[in-house]
Structure 1
Amino acid sequence: MKRRSVRVLAAGVTVVAALLLGACGGGAGADGTETVTVAQADPGLSFAPLYVADGMGYFADEGLAVDIQTLKPDVAVAGLASDQIDYVATIGSVARQAATGVPVKVAMVWFDRTPFVIMGNSRFQDMAALRGQAVGVSGFGSSTDVALRHALRASGLDPETDVEIIQLGGGGPAGRITAIQTDQVAATPLTLPDDIIAERRGLTRLYDTTDELLIPFTGLGVSDIKLAEDPEQIAAMIRATRRALEHMAAEPEESARIISEATGTEEDVVLEALPTMVRIVSPDGLASAEALENSIAPTDGSGATPDLATAYDFDLLRAENTQQGVPAAPDRPAADG
């Protein structure tokens, strides 16, 4: 079936203008604190290390003040490549764009698996029932698109012919939930804690990708220019967000409170979702070679997977790991891979 798009952020000059107006990072304050801009796809648990690092003062300890912007992933990556944004946390989009030649890289992985659940209208009780239906993603080539295609194929459906994939645009998880409730689509991928919210609103769990979709989820994406010119700042971001991940595991109630305040999500919902997110944290900021390859493989399953070096640069992370005594898991790629 044909793919179509609704409510997609405008292209061209409008996007560039919005980006320049809405995401202006860099510069030092009167106290010497350096302001950096980080883009996220939506305010949610996937980006919790940013909220916890900010709320606990870990960024401040590194001399950083972080301005968190919510931007559509393709716009964010364009801003990253043009040096308008310092970091992009939606690293799936960063890696896929890097593999096509965009001068950006992933420098750290926070979560080494992609915890999407395909949530559907209560009329549908399994993935097979989606045959002939419209299903929604945030954007073509996004992590939601990858997760949906994985779940469809695993359920014996062809994403190209058995369903109609609709791009729902910048409405975030709340917009995708509404799209199901208003019958625009039959199902959509949601991540924690939005799947919990959707279930409480009567939607049905159709497929859980958490333990299957070995694709790095969120982390730190940077430009090639920043890698070359500002390694100290990148190392500081690595240290601060690593401390946040450790705090999420050690102090879930305090972390849930901070995340709830930052995202507007009810604290009990965050607390219910947090154990799963902690379970998929990358202990060393890396991911397996298989996961990294999956992240840049063509979404339609065709063509050769690009070289990992086109999308990932973990040299600074490995140096930080060595300094802090963090061992690498045995399935990690070689340093020159």
Structure 2
Amino acid sequence: MSKRFEFSLFVSLFLFLITPATSSSVEEIKIASTGPAVSTLPLEIATRKGFFRDEGLEVLTITMRTNIAVNALLSRNVDYATPSTSVIKAATGGLAVKMVAVLQGRPDYFLIARKEIRSIKDLKGKRVAIGSFGAPADLALRAVVNEEGLDFDRDLVRLQMGGNSARYTSLVAGAVDATVLSPPFNLQAEKAGYRDLLWLGERLELPLAGLGVRDETIQKNPKQILATIRAVFRAIAFAKANPEETMRMLIDWLRVDREVAAKSYELGKRSWSEGGIVSDAAVKVVVDQSLLELKSKDAVSLDKVRNWTFAEQAQRDVANARLAR
């Protein structure tokens, strides 16, 4: 090999290494999530199966508490945040964020009670553990209890107990008569002899997990939003069409046994949102609660808190891609 050729090869390699990434390069994005759960499994599937990569995205999912996730979104430390109700509440309060897609359109909450409590009406005067006042589980429970003819604020003794683990502990310790639990805690409670009164998702829609973005991303990088949502939609379709592989992912990702994974998967199939949107009524539940917490009587347009045009377009794109195959 001549010295001239060696020199030319060296220069070519050097220029390749220092050349800035082009528009065809993979785009890195960060998603703030509240952690491994049935609701956010589509993000994990999209990563493992390469659906994000197919869309030209390199995704880093970061686990953080709900309030920190929204703050990280606002401060540009992440590009997306999954806690839908918190994003909607922030938008209702005037912050420049919006929901652009819903991953889970029905709550994964189960109302679990002592064995002698046989119906929701039996909860009158009983102690019920919730996470915190106005949190998603509290909102879902309010809607169902009021539908049963009880006065949610007067007929139930609601106690703020924190997360699923703390609520489960308060139930088995006898500190409360009932609580709202998500998998796998509801399944553990059933095994311990407690009664499953209702899957709250049977009664109502509620945007629990999704993709919230800053308004500036909607304006400056709509293609990235579309690509992200398309990958997620492919992941949801994959999960529903491939139960065995999806359950293996659940076992690995959630660190649960096969029985819990199977029941969690069935819940996911019922609650994952293929279309990526929920009804205006479901969004309004969160907006109204936000206004109540803010002690505001202002009217807030739903267009201020959600933008479903990306989810609708992504759904068309995915459908067209299927037809083209």
The TM-score with structure 2 as length reference comes to: 0.80
Gaps of at least 5 residues in structure 1 are 1-27, 327-337
Q: CA deviation at 1:127?
A: 2.6
Greater radius of gyration (CA):
2
Gaps of at least 5 residues in structure 2 are 1-20, 321-325
Q: Give the match's secondary structure for 1:210.
A: helix
Q: How far, CA to CA, are the matches of 2:172 and 2:60 in structure 1? A: 33
Q: 1:313 aligns with which of 297, 307, 311?
A: 307
Q: 1:279 aligns with which of 260, 266, 270?
A: 270
**Which residue of structure 2 aligns with residue 61 of structure 1?**
54
Q: Give the match's secondary structure for 2:134.
A: coil
Paired amino acid for 2:171 = I
Q: Give the match's secondary structure for 1:89.
A: strand
Q: 1:112 aligns with which of 86, 105, 115?
A: 105
Q: CA deviation at 1:32?
A: 5.4
Q: How far, CA to CA, are the matches of 1:142 and 1:109 in structure 2? A: 17
Paired amino acid for 1:237 = T
Alignment of 1:258-337 (within 5 A): 258-298=249-289, 306-325=300-319
Q: How far, CA to CA, are the matches of 2:299 and 2:193 in structure 1? A: 39
Q: CA deviation at 1:192?
A: 4.1
The 8 Å contact of residues 99 and 296 in structure 1, kept in 2 or not, is answered as yes
The 8 Å contact of residues 119 and 190 in structure 1, kept in 2 or not, is answered as yes
Paired amino acid for 2:306 = Y
Q: CA deviation at 1:293?
A: 2.8
Range moving further from structure 2, 44-53 or 124-133: 124-133
**Which residue of structure 2 aligns with residue 191 of structure 1?**
182
**Which residue of structure 1 aligns with residue 83 of structure 2?**
90
The 8 Å contact of residues 46 and 218 in structure 1, kept in 2 or not, is answered as yes
% identical aligned pairs:
29
Alignment of 1:4-23 (within 5 A): none
Going from structure 1 to structure 2, the CA distance change for 1:308 and 1:152 (only over 3 Å counts) comes to same
Q: Give the match's secondary structure for 2:208.
A: coil
Q: How far, CA to CA, are the matches of 1:264 and 1:192 in structure 2? A: 12
Q: How far, CA to CA, are the matches of 2:137 and 2:62 in structure 1? A: 20
Q: CA deviation at 1:244?
A: 0.7
Q: 1:148 aligns with which of 120, 124, 141?
A: 141
Q: How far, CA to CA, are the matches of 1:271 and 1:45 in structure 2? A: 11
Going from structure 1 to structure 2, the CA distance change for 1:40 and 1:322 (only over 3 Å counts) comes to same
Q: Give the match's secondary structure for 2:70.
A: helix
Q: Give the match's secondary structure for 1:207.
A: strand
Q: CA deviation at 1:253?
A: 1.0
Superposed CA RMSD? 2.8
**Which residue of structure 2 aligns with residue 126 of structure 1?**
119
The TM-score with structure 1 as length reference comes to: 0.77
Going from structure 1 to structure 2, the CA distance change for 1:320 and 1:208 (only over 3 Å counts) comes to closer
Paired amino acid for 1:261 = D
Deviations 1:227-259 (A, max 9, x none): 223323222210111111001110011011112
Alignment of 1:195-206 (within 5 A): 195-206=186-197
Q: How far, CA to CA, are the matches of 2:245 and 2:180 in structure 1? A: 28
Q: 1:243 aligns with which of 226, 234, 238?
A: 234
Q: How far, CA to CA, are the matches of 1:114 and 1:78 in structure 2? A: 23
The 8 Å contact of residues 114 and 215 in structure 1, kept in 2 or not, is answered as yes
Going from structure 1 to structure 2, the CA distance change for 1:126 and 1:318 (only over 3 Å counts) comes to closer
The 8 Å contact of residues 298 and 305 in structure 1, kept in 2 or not, is answered as no
**Which residue of structure 2 aligns with residue 50 of structure 1?**
43
Q: 2:200 aligns with which of 209, 234, 238?
A: 209
**Which residue of structure 2 aligns with residue 9 of structure 1?**
none
The 8 Å contact of residues 129 and 179 in structure 2, kept in 1 or not, is answered as yes
Deviations 1:78-100 (A, max 9, x none): 22222222222121221232122
**Which residue of structure 2 aligns with residue 335 of structure 1?**
none
Greater helix fraction, Structure 1 or Structure 2 = 2
Q: How far, CA to CA, are the matches of 1:198 and 1:168 in structure 2? A: 16
